[in-house]
Structure 1
């Protein structure tokens, strides 16, 4: 007979700031598509904790004999805030899966959310990890939106073929946020950037209406972000100084040869003039000049215009992420 192995007991405790390195490692192993560093995760949690709306954030660590096995977290969503709406996630690295760790963490998380009176919970999983989606379905979650990670290998991008598309209509010029700040000062440049960003983000597909984006919070978040890369924020600006289109690039936490796309879009009155395409081409040329290997972007499957633009440029979709919802507010 094969002797049975007795696993050490599983303990679950609240995570502390001292746990950020192990939390970032667990979350990166569970979702290597979007790796995190301790500094990056500390910043994200700090943004929630310090939000003027008084948002909630909590995270737990599951351990066996002192060894980390998984984590669960829940938080209010700053971009889609409602006091009874939460994001919740259970993250188990593959080597620790199928041992009941996720079930224990989920039960603890569900009890916490019941205690807080949650009426809506959002979560999700990738289509190539069907067990994660089944796990949520069994708990009463249903699909709301699907998102593609779209990836462009820059070795396959011929910038010269897009030279004409990178031009802007008469009366507009392209400048980075860093360049605009050198001309008018960083505060004034961020104010102009904010006006465009706040309008463009309102039309991005999401599961609930966006929280209004106030200037002071936007400025603070931008300047305190460890990934702040003003040279990678490209803007289309009128002769009067109005920002009418934008495309953002951010350094990736764990891979210096990768850049991640933030928001790309055009203000409503200036759409259908090729501005987003022009800025995106310039951003990709900038990435090539910096020796970057690949650029990642994420798009809802309902955002057909942006998906079509990215497909034209050579971005290719990875397995879709399915966002799921329990309840509703």
Structure 2
């Protein structure tokens, strides 16, 4: 049966989310979350490009593809590309058709660098990218902690913050300092810590007005943003927990980071332990986090806490800006 490709619209989000979830069950998608992410791209001050396709066979969505510029490491000639096919439609030319359409689109736009990726336990997907001129750029690991087996006893009474610092949630800091002051302190720490996170391209500064909009994200959890703050309300370190769109028993970790002046004092460990307690109180069964293979200190910390690595996500690159 012939595969029909067309540009996707808002009405296609439920079908696209179903394709993404089937193709990558480790990170399922919902229509609401997809719609929010598209709105974030379309309203971003950098005006990143976005192109989405849906592949249909017999009137049913069997694949999806997208090309977009990444606001967090923006360059006008750098793009992210993804092709996803439902498992039952693999090996039937759907992926090739979608990839061909993306390649034509990227060529027309004069792309000089394209990022994509696949899991290490999907050798066929990696070979698919390699045949198109992609090579490995970096590896990232999902690390998963089973909260049912986690024992905090080894750190009881030993993991503590330096004098003058305490742990509060973003919600608590807002109540103490006011919304704008709390969010600006959170943003300042986030922006500095994020600069040193390993990535496949240069980090674009996080604008405060854009950062502030994360409160509207469907997965945002104000009580899951934990901050090490001093007496003035300055944030020295942070860790973030987000809800999962498809699994109420799972929480996902955002950024865990420490400002440069406060590093190597154990702040990350204290905050991670506090986050695990928040997760336990919410009844979560697992916590997922993601780290680059080059982020040795964070990988070691997660391993100490009992996180276990999943198959690596291999980021692939074609060209270079």
Q: What range is the shorter-chain TM-score in?
A: over 0.9
Distance 1:161 1:135 in 2: 46
- 2:26 corresponding residue in structure 1: 33
- 1:46 corresponding residue in structure 2: 39
Q: Which 5+ residue runs of structure 1 have no aligned equivalent? A: 1-7
Equivalent residues of 2:177, 2:233 under 8 A apart: no
Q: Secondary structure at the match of 1:41?
A: helix
Equivalent residues of 1:166, 1:279 under 8 A apart: no
What are the equivalent positions in structure 2 for 1:284-323 lying under 5 Å apart?
A: 284-323=276-315
Tell me how large the CA RMSD over aligned residues is: 0.8
2:116 aligned with 1:93, yes or no? no
Q: Please state how far the C-alpha of 1:166 moved relative to its aligned partner.
A: 4.1
Equivalent residues of 2:182, 2:233 under 8 A apart: no
Distance 2:215 2:288 in 1: 23
Q: Please state how far the C-alpha of 1:165 moved relative to its aligned partner.
A: 4.4
Cα-to-partner distance string for 1:112-145 (whole Å, 9 max, x where unaligned)? 0101111100000000000000000000001100
Cα-to-partner distance string for 1:39-69 (whole Å, 9 max, x where unaligned)? 1111111111111111111110000110111
- The count of corresponding residues between Structure 1 and Structure 2 is 321
What are the equivalent positions in structure 2 for 1:169-184 lying under 5 Å apart?
A: 169-184=162-177
Among 130, 147, 172, the residue aligned to 1:154: 147
- 2:270 corresponding residue in structure 1: 278
- 2:191 corresponding residue in structure 1: 198
Distance 1:166 1:110 in 2: 51
Distance 1:74 1:21 in 2: 19
Among 228, 237, 242, the residue aligned to 1:245: 237
Distance 1:46 1:67 in 2: 25
- 2:12 corresponding residue in structure 1: 19
Q: Please state how far the C-alpha of 1:171 moved relative to its aligned partner.
A: 0.3
Q: Which 5+ residue runs of structure 2 have no aligned equivalent? A: none
So what's the TM-score if we normalise by structure 1? 0.96
Q: Please state how far the C-alpha of 1:224 moved relative to its aligned partner.
A: 1.8
